[in-house]
Amino acid sequence: MTPLGLYEPGTSLLHRAPTGPSLLAVLLIAAGTVLTSDPWVLAGVCGLVALGYVVARVPWRRLRPLLRTLALLLVLIGLVQWWLLGPERALVIALRLVAAIGAASLFTLTTRVDDLVSAVERGLGPLRRFGVRPERVGLLVGLTIQSVGTLSGIAGQVRASAKARGAGGSVTAFAVPFMIRTLRHADALGEALAARGWGDDDTRPSPPHVAEP
């Protein structure tokens, strides 16, 4: 499980919303948090994002890792910004992080990877005349989201194995197996794409199906 998403099945309004407009809304929220420095406006955006989780009826088992990750980021980044820029600036940056990461996570929790890939391909279709290959961009987006979940799952498995061996506090016991399994996953993914002809500019095969993790 990853705090940054992976589809959570549901029938809420957000689950049934069109993928394209939903993605556009997330991008607007992310851009809007950068364009404003008003903590009250940012707090309002955070409130709207939190309301989105209520509407989507996201279960607590999916919210818990997200909240844990956000808390860690806020502590690490917030303390540094507080020291460098002062409390007010640190608060603005913290609210921006909460709003942007919260909105992105909500989108991936309520949107299937295949639907996102299809939406990207449709949106970039008119750019094909300029040499853009929408199917490749869509595949890249889908693989990026899927890889976040895969790597998070690998990290969780490695951490659990280290704890079972009594080495839960060892950095080496986590880092070495994690790197090895990550490289194996990258090799397997590269071989799968090469087998389908991706990376060969002389052919344009149909894109491989991006399965839900």
Short-list 133, 135, 134, 148, CA closest to 69: 148
Per-residue pLDDT, 5? 47
Q: Per-residue b/e over 160-195, b at no fewer than 16 CB within 10 Å?
A: eebeeeeeeeeeebbeebbeebbeeeeeeeeeeeee
What are the residue boundaries of the structural domains of the chain, listed by start? Answer: 13-111, 124-195
155 Cβ neighbours under 8 A, 6+ residues apart? 174, 178
Mean pLDDT of the chain: 78
Q: Which of 34-48, 78-92, 195-209 has the highest mean pLDDT?
A: 34-48
pLDDT in tens, 145-195: 666 656 666 776 787 787 787 776 677 777 788 788 888 877 777 776 676
Q: Which of 4-8, 108-112, 116-120, 131-135 has the lowest mean pLDDT?
A: 4-8
pLDDT greater at residue 199 or residue 96: 96
Per-residue pLDDT, 190? 73
